C-alpha cells in the first residue's frame, strides 16, 4: 500500500483521493479551503456524485483517508497527485497559476525521491514548467491525465477504458500505473508531453463528434429524416461507435469548452491551424441558437412577453454542475429574446442568471407557461405523466432537446411534442 497525497479536492481530486483510499492506500487529501476540508472531515461530500459520501465515511473510519488544510501533512507521501484547477484564461488558454503555485509550495514539502503526478488537465509541455518550478531533481514529475465524467466519476475510476501515464522514466510511470491495481486495463506508458496531449485530443475529439451529431440532427429536421434512427444507424458501424451520439442543446460543462479552446491556443502557438476546433465551437453556438429558434418558432416567431418553462439546468444529468451548461446558454437566448423563464432541476437550485426563477417543484415550473423546454436528460423528467401537468400549462407544447420523452405518450395527452431532429 502506498502513501498518497492529493492536492486539491474538487471533482477530480476528491474522486482520486477517495477511490485510492478505497483501494487500500493511505491517502491525505489537502485543500486550502478550510470550510471544504471541515465538511469532508465530517463525512459529507462537497460534490454531487453517486456513492461519494458513503466511500468518504467508510475510508475516514478505517483510517485510509484524512483531509487537511495543512500542506505539511503530505510530506510523508511517496506520490503526490496535483489536482488543482486549470481554469480558462482570458485568451482561451489554460491558466496554470494554481499548478505553478502548488509546485512552488511543494518545493520544501515533498518527500525525497517522491513522484509528483499531474492529474490536472494541463497543456502540452506544462510538465516542463512544473519541473522547473519545483526545483527538486530527486522528484520525478509524471503526467497522468484523468478521464472521469462528472456523475459517474467513481465507477469511471474503478472501470476505466484506459490508464495513461507519461514520464521520461518509464519505471516511474509504471509505479504510478500500479497504484490503480487495474491489471486487465489497457495501460499506456508514454512520455509526459504525449500523455498531456492524449487528454486534450480526446476531449476535443468528443466535442467535435457532438457538434457533428447536432448538425446531423438539424439536417434531419430540415429534410424530414429521423435523427434517432440516423444516429443509431451510424453508431452500429463499429468504426464510429454508438456512444456520444445523442443530440442535445449543445455540449458544455467545465471541461469540453475550456479544453477545446486551450487546444486551439496550443495549436496556434505552434503554427498549426486546427480549424475543426473553431468549427466545433461555432457549431455549438449554432445549436444553442437553434434550440431557442425552435421555441420561438412554436410561439408565433416571437418570445416577447412569453413565459417558458425549462426542465434542467445541469450541463448533463447526474451532476449539480451548471458551469458552461448548454441549458444556461439556451436560457440566456430565450431571455434575450424577451421571454421570462422558470426552471426546475432535480439538483441545481441556483444559477448565475438574475432574472431566472427556479422552482422547487416540477408542477410549479410549468404553471401557466407558453411552452416547456427539456434541456437536461434527467430520469425524473421521463417519469412525468403529461396528464398530470396538462391542465397547469397555458399551451400544450413540449420541446424535448434530448429526445428522452415518450413522444406517443405526450401526444396522446394532447401535447404538441417537438423533438430534436425528428
**Which SS3 state, helix, strand or coil, does residue 418 take?**
strand
Question: Which of these ranges, 70-78, 82-90, 141-149, 293-301, lies near ligand UGA under the rule CB under 6 A?
Answer: 141-149
If the CB atoms of residues 64 and 376 are measured against ligand UGA, the closer one turns out to be 376
- Least separation in angstroms between CB 310 and ligand UGA: 15
Which of the residues 175 through 204 are near ligand UGA (CB under 6 A)?
Answer: 203
* Cα torsion through 246, 182, 123, 14, rounded to 10: 80
Which residues make Cβ contacts (< 8 Å) with residue 322, sequence separation at least 6?
313, 314, 315, 328, 348, 351, 352
Among the listed residues 77, 220, 255, 366, the single catalytic one is 255
If the CB atoms of residues 18 and 109 are measured against ligand UGA, the closer one turns out to be 18
Query: How many angstroms separate the CA atoms of 155 and 314, rounded?
Result: 20
- Least separation in angstroms between CB 87 and ligand UGA: 13
Q: Exactly one of 316, 334, 343, 398 binds ligand UGA (CB under 6 A); which one?
A: 316
**Which SS3 state, helix, strand or coil, does residue 400 take?**
strand
If the CB atoms of residues 317 and 393 are measured against ligand UGA, the closer one turns out to be 317
User: Does the footprint of ligand UGA cover residue 419 (CB under 6 A)?
Assistant: no
Residue 173, judged by CB atoms within 10 A of its CB (0-12, 13-18, 19+), counts as buried
User: Does the footprint of ligand UGA cover residue 315 (CB under 6 A)?
Assistant: yes
If the CB atoms of residues 326 and 386 are measured against ligand UGA, the closer one turns out to be 326
User: Does the footprint of ligand UGA cover residue 288 (CB under 6 A)?
Assistant: no
Q: Where are the beta strands (DSSP E) in 131-263?
A: 140-143, 162-166, 186-190
- Least separation in angstroms between CB 59 and ligand UGA: 22
Q: Exactly one of 49, 146, 296, 370 binds ligand UGA (CB under 6 A); which one?
A: 146
Query: How many angstroms separate the CA atoms of 268 and 247, rounded?
Result: 30
Question: Which of these ranges, 42-50, 148-156, 271-279, 294-302, lies near ligand UGA under the rule CB under 6 A?
Answer: 148-156
Q: Exactly one of 52, 210, 218, 230 binds ligand UGA (CB under 6 A); which one?
A: 210
Binding mask 230-269 for ligand UGA (x = CB under 6 A): --------------xxx-x--xxx-xx-------------
Query: How many angstroms separate the CA atoms of 50 and 385, rounded?
Result: 26
User: Does the footprint of ligand UGA cover residue 147 (CB under 6 A)?
Assistant: yes
Binding mask 323-362 for ligand UGA (x = CB under 6 A): ---x------------------------------------
- Least separation in angstroms between CB 243 and ligand UGA: 7
Query: How many angstroms separate the CA atoms of 404 and 298, rounded?
Result: 20
- Least separation in angstroms between CB 252 and ligand UGA: 4
Which residues make Cβ contacts (< 8 Å) with residue 408, sequence separation at least 6?
none
Q: Exactly one of 9, 121, 211, 396 binds ligand UGA (CB under 6 A); which one?
A: 121
Query: Percent helix, strand, coil in the chain (nearest 5)?
Result: 40, 15, 45
- Least separation in angstroms between CB 351 and ligand UGA: 16
User: Does the footprint of ligand UGA cover residue 157 (CB under 6 A)?
Assistant: no
CA 150 to chain centroid, in Å, comes to 5
Query: How many angstroms separate the CA atoms of 336 and 211, rounded?
Result: 23
Question: Which of these ranges, 65-73, 143-151, 168-176, 379-387, lies near ligand UGA under the rule CB under 6 A?
Answer: 143-151
Which residues make Cβ contacts (< 8 Å) with residue 371, sequence separation at least 6?
295, 298, 299, 306, 308, 309, 395, 397, 398, 399
30 bridge partner residues: 7, 68
**Which SS3 state, helix, strand or coil, does residue 71 take?**
helix
Is residue 77 among the annotated active site residues?
no
Distances (CA, A) of 55 to 22, 112, 353: 7, 31, 34
- Least separation in angstroms between CB 1 and ligand UGA: 26
Residues tagged active-site: 255
Binding site for ligand UGA (CB under 6 A): 121, 146-150, 203, 206, 210, 244-246, 248, 251-253, 255-256, 315-316, 326
Amino acid at each position: 500500500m502506498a502513501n498518497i497525497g492529493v492536492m486539491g479536492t474538487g471533482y477530480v481530486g476528491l474522486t482520486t483521493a477517495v477511490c485510492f483510499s478505497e483501494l487500500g492506500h493511505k491517502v491525505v487529501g489537502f485543500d486550502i479551503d478550510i470550510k471544504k476540508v471541515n465538511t469532508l472531515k465530517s463525512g459529507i461530500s462537497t460534490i454531487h456524485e453517486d456513492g461519494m459520501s458513503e466511500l468518504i465515511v467508510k475510508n475516514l473510519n478505517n483510517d485510509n483517508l484524512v483531509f487537511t488544510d495543512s500542506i505539511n501533512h503530505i510530506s510523508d507521501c511517496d506520490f503526490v497527485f496535483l489536482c488543482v484547477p486549470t481554469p480558462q484564461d482570458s485568451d482561451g488558454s489554460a491558466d496554470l497559476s494554481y499548478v505553478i503555485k502548488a509546485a512552488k509550495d511543494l518545493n520544501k514539502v515533498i518527500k525525497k525521491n517522491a513522484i509528483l503526478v499531474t492529474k490536472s488537465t494541463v497543456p502540452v509541455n506544462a510538465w516542463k514548467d512544473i519541473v522547473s518550478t519545483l526545483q527538486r531533481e530527486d522528484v520525478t514529475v509524471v503526467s497522468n491525465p484523468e478521464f472521469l465524467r462528472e456523475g459517474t466519476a467513481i465507477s469511471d475510476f474503478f472501470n476505466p477504458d484506459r490508464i495513461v501515464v507519461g514520464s521520461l522514466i518509464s519505471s516511474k510511470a509504471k509505479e504510478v500505473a500500479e497504484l490503480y491495481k487495474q491489471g486487465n486495463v489497457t495501460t499506456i506508458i508514454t512520455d509526459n508531453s504525449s500523455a498531456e496531449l492524449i487528454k486534450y485530443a480526446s476531449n476535443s475529439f468528443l466535442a467535435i463528434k457532438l457538434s457533428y451529431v447536432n448538425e446531423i440532427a438539424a439536417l434531419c429536421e430540415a429534410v424530414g429524416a429521423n435523427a434517432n434512427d440516423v444516429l443509431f444507424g451510424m453508431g452500429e458501424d463499429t468504426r464510429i461507435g454508438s456512444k456520444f451520439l445523442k443530440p442535445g442543446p449543445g455540449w458544455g460543462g467545465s471541461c469540453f469548452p475550456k479544453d477545446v479552446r486551450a487546444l486551439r491556443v496550443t495549436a496556434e502557438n505552434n503554427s498549426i491551424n486546427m480549424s475543426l476546433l473553431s468549427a466545433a465551437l461555432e457549431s455549438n453556438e449554432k445549436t444553442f441558437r437553434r434550440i431557442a429558434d425552435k421555441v420561438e418558432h412554436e410561439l408565433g416567431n416571437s418570445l416577447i412577453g412569453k413565459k417558458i418553462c425549462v426542465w434542467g439546468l445541469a450541463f448533463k444529468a447526474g451532476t449539480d454542475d451548471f458551469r458552461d451548461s448548454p441549458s444556461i446558454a439556451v436560457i440566456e437566448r430565450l431571455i434575450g429574446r424577451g421571454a421570462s423563464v422558470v426552471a426546475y432541476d432535480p439538483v441545481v437550485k441556483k444559477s448565475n442568471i438574475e432574472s431566472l426563477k427556479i422552482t422547487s417543484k416540477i408542477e410549479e415550473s410549468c404553471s401557466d407557461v407558453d411552452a416547456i423546454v427539456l434541456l437536461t436528460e434527467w430520469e425524473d423528467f421521463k417519469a412525468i405523466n403529461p396528464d398530470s401537468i396538462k391542465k397547469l400549462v397555458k399551451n400544450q407544447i413540449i420541446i424535448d432537446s434530448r429526445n428522452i420523452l415518450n413522444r406517443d405518450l405526450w401526444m396522446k395527452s394532447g401535447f404538441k411534442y417537438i423533438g430534436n431532429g425528428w
